Structure 1
Amino acid sequence: MEKSAYKINIIGAGVSGLIAAQILENYGYHPTIIEATEKVGGRVKSDHFQGYTLDRGFQVLLTSYPVAKKYLDYKALDLQEFLPGATIFKNGKQQTIGDPLRKISLLLPTLLSNIGTLSDKVKVLKLNTLLKKKEIATIFKEDEKTTLQYLEDFGFSEEIINDFFKPFFSGIFLEPNLDTSSRMFEFVYKMFGDGLAVLPKKGIQEISNQLKSKLKNTSFLFNSKVQEVKNNAILLEDGKEIKSHITIIATEASSLISNLKNQETVWKSCDTLYFETEQRVIQKPLIGLVANKDALVNNIFYHTSVATDAKNTKELLSVIVVKNHQLSEEHLIEKVQKELNDYCKITNAKFLKRYQIKNALPNLTNIQYEISSTETKLKSTIFLAGDQLLNGSLNAAMISGERAALGVIQTLEDGLIVDELTSEYQ
């Protein structure tokens, strides 16, 4: 049987599904991607709205992700760089801190800021040096503790934890208490230190679009929601059945396979709200952190502080809320606008759009960096992919997609499948 004749279906056109398709194509297979929505991207999507490009959730690409460097053409993405630092709003004041070893202009404001003690600043340099030397494989073999416990054990003061580490990493981990694994903290901190945080000029969707553009022999079924995955068939919600030699589930699998119902991934949620303002209170491309434990707002960013494809002359501001709340959308918007005014002196922020992201990041323990291709196999004809198998990151999504595809290829080339469908396609 020709490789191109195998019916290999991938459920989910997110990053892991797109990478899986690329690997399968590289080996001569012609997969089909079945996607519930109207376009590729999964959680890495953007929308055009009132002249702006709005990412579905504030996201950045870390250029030092090892697997991202392998699969993405950074130059073609027209990446816009953030400065390696943050602006902190505390007690009505605005202070900027950052890594002066990478951006000398941040030296003076960092030294003059009263964020943390002198001892804290020395410890930051010590942590930078430690993680720069530490191999990724070593990080993921360390005993796990919470990120908060890690920072306390490292000797950081309560002040710098509350003023910098909590708001900064809460925005990355999407939980306010730094309960996330210390492995993830070390990995992300290392990635920030080894490279840059960037955004494509046309929005985060460009990452997904670029991966799709590389696919030459992959078919797509959009607006096709899957109801159930069987050994050799996929049942869509509209009643259509698709024959499948092998299926890769590159999305949450528990609802699609009957015996996985009790193994559902727990997800972290967040709100991203976009506003339009007349001017910026942070002039440079820096994330703004609200260092107030009672604040609902976690962090802010002016997307127009870097080059964008916006067709407006005003400023685009995103606001992230990671704390759980029971507010209606109207009351949430009102509270956020009040906090922007009270804490950041941002007045007259005009609300544009809210993204309530229920499945923003997988909530995982015993997080891993790597997975073998055989570990992605659920059944002889069903494989799993997605960052929920490893850790919540774009890098992990790519690794899992690659490994699932290699598992499929190994299974087919080793002749491990009893092919009940072959006769139907010959």
Structure 2
Amino acid sequence: MTSPSLPDAVDVVVVGAGLAGLRAARTVARAGRSVAVCEATDGVGGRVRTDVVDGFLVDRGFQILNTSYPALRREIDLDALDLRRFVPGAAVRDAEGRLHRLADPRRVPSWAPRTALDPLLGPLAKARVAGLALRSLVVPPSRQARAPERTTADELARWGLDGTPTETFLRPFLNGVLGDRDLETSSRVFSLFWRSFALGDLTLPSRGIGALPAQLAARLPADTVHLHTPARRVAPGRVETPHGTVRAGAVIVAAEGTAAAELLDGRIPAPRTFALTTHFHVTAEPPTRRALLHLDGAGGPIVNTLALTAAAPSYSPDHRHLVQSTVLGPEPLPERDLRRELARLWGTPVGAWDELATVRVPRALPAAVPPTPAGLRHPVSLGEGLFVAGDHRDTPSVQGALVSGRRTAQEALAYLSAGTR
């Protein structure tokens, strides 16, 4: 993906080879325009990457790929990713130490009796959760993105799901998905997420989440992506790097939101972000053979833990098993505390588990808190041929990154066309 030298000039230069940047570059290339992508690191993907540690696949923190995202289905050959599916549900350890296994009865009919009879949520709470899912399926996404806005916590309370349903199930589940400890996320965003859970499979590519950006990059013309090429300065019509300056008719900054704000000299505000830290352990004996997300219904520091190899054995180079566990914030949990909590959540000794890696993602997700723009879309054109893309301009998700990349590139192409008339 690297090339000997940067081009002197292209139609569009993209800063950042994350999902938004790669999607923008592909849109430009398909329109017949020349494009160069400048990436500061040694690989594509940004926050959606996979490293190899002692032969194990280690994703950049907690990753789950939801197959219901329309932009994902349009742009990605999902069959080629060899997706491995998780059970659409969760196992919840309550404060008394009991384990509750719940699944969507529509998707896993064999679990319907168990889920219906499980005492973690009462019949009324289960009916309200079902009603929430039905509303998200019936109401068109465009209306959900413009609905009256409140926080997610307030939205759950409006549905009568505050208290026990939130604290034992919904909060730990949403904490990991949104990175949002206090459920301040906009109800518009929550509604769209809930729709995606109701419609899609929760999966991971067999070769790690990094297979997603790798596929996008492979569809670009040769020598489009320039690795180890950080943008030192961005200005209308040019991007300055340690390897030279690239001139362009349009510049798209597709870096993470805080980095984008710095490069753009305050033309956009730096978004508030949520941090996640994920611990990876290796064990000879798996804590479970079910591909099911485990949650802490007692409010402990681990928001979720998952035996990755239960769904994707390919994450391991041999017979051993890989377990990931995520906490909120940029700091890892002290090892002694971590192992105590893991033993409680899994209900099994973990002293023999080997620590493999700890992945800190200090800016894992932009905070989509009220007030958000109607339609959940922030402007991407900054004037003078400067544009900005990323999940901080749409929704904090793979869907948001891909949609942002496409629409930003389309605006940049329209700008170029207007300039040649």
Q: Same fold (TM over 0.5)?
A: yes
2:145 is matched with: 140
- Bigger mean CA offset, 240-249 vs 129-138: 240-249
Determine if contact 2:86/2:292 at 8 Å carries over to the other structure: yes
Specify which of 221, 225, 242 is matched with residue 226 of structure 2: 221
2:295 is matched with: 289
1:155 is matched with: 160
1:107 is matched with: 112
Determine if contact 1:301/1:319 at 8 Å carries over to the other structure: yes
CA deviation vs aligned residue, 1:234-276 (integer Å, no higher than 9, x gap): 222x37433333211011321112243x721221111011011
2:42 is matched with: 38
Partners of 2:11 and 2:124 in 1: how far apart?
A: 60
Determine if contact 2:330/2:360 at 8 Å carries over to the other structure: no
1:410 is matched with: 414
2:205 is matched with: 200
Post-superposition shift, 1:332?
A: 2.0
**Sequence identity of aligned pairs in percent?**
26
1:319 is matched with: 325
Post-superposition shift, 1:323?
A: 4.8
State the SS of the aligned residue for 2:416.
Answer: helix
Partners of 1:354 and 1:292 in 2: how far apart?
A: 24
Say how many residue pairs are matched: 405
The aligned amino acid for 1:204 is I
Determine if contact 1:86/1:97 at 8 Å carries over to the other structure: yes
TM-score (norm 1): 0.90
Post-superposition shift, 1:8?
A: 1.7
Determine if contact 1:181/1:367 at 8 Å carries over to the other structure: no
Determine if contact 2:204/2:312 at 8 Å carries over to the other structure: no
Specify which of 236, 248, 257 is matched with residue 264 of structure 2: 257
1:267 aligns with 2:270: no
1:9 aligns with 2:13: yes
State the SS of the aligned residue for 1:258.
Answer: coil
Specify which of 220, 228, 238 is matched with residue 233 of structure 1: 238
Matches within 5 A, 1:385-400: 385-400=389-404
1:77 aligns with 2:84: no
Determine if contact 1:55/1:205 at 8 Å carries over to the other structure: yes
State the SS of the aligned residue for 2:334.
Answer: helix
The aligned amino acid for 1:342 is R
Determine if contact 1:95/1:109 at 8 Å carries over to the other structure: no
1:344 is matched with: 346
CA deviation vs aligned residue, 1:10-60 (integer Å, no higher than 9, x gap): 000000111111111111112000001001101110011112101011111
The aligned amino acid for 1:98 is A
Determine if contact 1:31/1:218 at 8 Å carries over to the other structure: no
Partners of 1:157 and 1:265 in 2: how far apart?
A: 28
1:55 is matched with: 59
Post-superposition shift, 1:62?
A: 1.0
Structure 1 portions without partners, runs of 5+: 418-426
Structure 2 portions without partners, runs of 5+: 1-7
2:3 is matched with: none
Determine if contact 1:30/1:217 at 8 Å carries over to the other structure: no
Partners of 1:11 and 1:194 in 2: how far apart?
A: 33
Specify which of 23, 29, 32 is matched with residue 27 of structure 2: 23
Post-superposition shift, 1:335?
A: 1.4
2:174 is matched with: 169
